[in-house]
Amino acid sequence: MDDGTSQYYFTASMDSGKTLHSLLKAIQFQESAVFCAMSEGLKLTVEEGKCVQASAYVPADNFTEYHVRDDVDVIFKISIAVLTECLNIFGASEESSLKMYYRSEGSPLLLVLQPQSVHTVMTDCEIATQTADCLLELRDEDATEVAKLVLKASAFLGLLADLERSCDVMELHLSPDHPNVSIVTYGMQDRSCIEVPKSSDMMQSFSCEQPVTLKYQLPHIRLIMKALAISSKVVLRCSSNGLLLLQLKLEKDEQRQMFSEFHIVPLLDDY
C-alpha cells in the first residue's frame, strides 16, 4: 500500500476476494448494507424490516493488510448489490487480488481488483457511500438463553431444504425430552414434522432446560440457506424472548475464519 494512503480512514488488501464475495452474497437480501470497519475486523449488516438482521464478519487476520484509524468511526451505508458485483467483476473462475480504500467520511469506497493469472487487466470501482442508518439492537440484556444447539451446517441446510416452501410459518419445538428438536410446518391441508434427537450425529451439542415452542416466518428462516451452504458449522441460540440467533462459521483456509450471524424475531401469537 502506498504511503499516500496512510491518512486514509480505512485501507485493506486481500489475496483473493472470492470468499468475501460468497459471504456477502449470502447476506444480500436487501439493496444496501451498513459497512463498519473496526480494529478487530470488517462487519457488514443487512436488515429486513424489524424482523431479521444479518451480518457478515471478517476478522482482520483474513487480510494481508488491514488499517483502520482509531480516532474515527468508519461506518457508512453502501449498496451491497453493487459491492458484490464489483468483487466478482472477473468472474467466479478467476482469483483476483483485492484492495479497498476509504479516504474519509463521505468518500466513495474504492476497490481495485486484479486477476492473479492475467497481468494486463485490472478493474477499479468507486462505490458511493451514504450516512449509515441506525441499526436495530435486537438483543435484550434481560433475556436469558433457553436453548443452544450446535449443528453441522450442511446437515441443517438439508433439513431446511426439505421444508415445504409454500408454508408461511415454521414451528420450532425444543425440549430436554425426546424428540428433542421438532420442526413443524403446516400446508394447506397437511402437516409435516421433522424430528432430530440430540443423539443424532449431526447434532454436535444440545442444551435445553425447559420445553419451548417458537414460531418464525419460514421465509425469514430460509434467508440463512445461502450462508449455510458456504459454512461448516451453525450455532442456534434461543432466547427467552423468542429471539433466534444463528451463528455460522465459514472456514476459509489455513485456520482463517469468517462468520455470518442472523437474528430472527419470532412470530407472536395473537390473542
Partner 1 sequence: MKFRGIMIDAGPMREFTNIVTTISKLSKECVLRLSDDKLYFIVSEDNSGPAPPVLWCEIPQVVFFSEYQMIGIDEEHKDIYLSVISANLAKSLVTLKSAKSLKIKLTKKQCPCLTLEIEMQSVISQQSRQVTHDIPVVVVPRKMWSDFHEPKVQTPDISIELPTLKQLRTTIDRMRTMAQEVVIRASAEGKLTLQIKTDMAKVSTRFKDLRVEAFEGPIDHSDSETESVAIEDISKLCHCRVDAKKFSMFLSADNISHNRTICSIVHKKLVILCLYTQENVKLQCFITGIVY
Partner 2 sequence: MKCHVPGPNVKVLGRTVHVLARFGDELYLESLPDCVLLKTLNASESAYAMIKFNNSFFSYFKYNFYSTEDNESLKCKISMKSALNAFKSPTHMDKQVENLEIKLDPDACKLIFQFKCKHGIVKTHYVSILDCKATQAVYTKDQVPNRIITSQRLLSETLGNFQSSDDQVTIEATNQSLILRNYVDANIELTKIIRTQINLKASEFDSYTVGVDTTITFTLKEFRALLAFAEALSLPIQLQFETTGQPVVFIVHNGTTFEAHFVMATSKPDALTQTQASSQNNSRTDYKRKEVNNSVGPMKKKPHLDIDISKCLDEDSHLFNYIDIPEETDLRPEKNGTTEANAAEEDNLQEYMDCDIPGSPTSRTKIKSVFKRCFESTFDPRSIQGVKLVENSDSD
Which residues would be at the binding site for partner 2 (CB under 8 A)? 155, 158-159, 161-162, 164, 179, 187-197, 199-202
Residue 164 touching partner 1 (CB under 8 A): no
Phi-psi region of 265 (alpha: psi -120 to 50; beta: other; left: phi over 0): beta
**Mask for 231-250, x = binds partner 1 (CB under 8 A):** --------------------
Q: Of the candidates 28, 45, 53, 79, which one interacts with partner 1 according to CB under 8 A?
A: 79
**Mask for 91-110, x = binds partner 1 (CB under 8 A):** x--x-------------x--
Instruction: Determine the interface stretch with partner 1 among 113-121, 149-157, 200-208, 212-220 (rule: CB under 8 A).
Output: 113-121
**Nearer to partner 2 (CB atom), residue 30 or residue 200:** 200
Q: Of the candidates 15, 49, 121, 133, which one interacts with partner 1 according to CB under 8 A?
A: 121
Residue 116 touching partner 1 (CB under 8 A): no
**Nearer to partner 2 (CB atom), residue 30 or residue 154:** 154
**Nearer to partner 2 (CB atom), residue 136 or residue 159:** 159
Q: What Å distances lie between residue 87 and 90, 95, 104, 112, 214, CA to CA?
A: 8, 10, 21, 9, 38
Q: DSSP letter at 179?
A: S
Q: How many CB atoms lie within 10 A of CB 174?
A: 25
The H or E element spanning position 247 is strand 244-253
The H or E element spanning position 230 is helix 225-230
262 vs 223: CA distance, rounded Å: 9
The H or E element spanning position 79 is strand 74-79
Q: Where are the alpha helices (DSSP H) in 37-79?
A: none
Cβ 247 to partner 2, closest distance in Å? 21
**Nearer to partner 2 (CB atom), residue 29 or residue 186:** 186
Cβ 122 to partner 1, closest distance in Å? 6
Residue 192 touching partner 1 (CB under 8 A): no
**Nearer to partner 1 (CB atom), residue 87 or residue 183:** 87
Residue 227 burial by Cβ neighbours in a 10 Å radius (0-12, 13-18, 19+): buried
Q: What Å distances lie between residue 206 and 144, 178, 198, 252, CA to CA?
A: 16, 12, 6, 26
Cβ 85 to partner 2, closest distance in Å? 31
**Nearer to partner 1 (CB atom), residue 79 or residue 231:** 79
Q: Select from partner 2, partner 1, none the partner in contact with residue 134, using the beta carbon and a kind-dependent cut-off of 5 to 8 Å.
A: none
Q: Select from partner 1, partner 2, none the partner in contact with residue 177, using the beta carbon and a kind-dependent cut-off of 5 to 8 Å.
A: none
At 102, is the secondary structure helix, strand, or coil?
Answer: strand
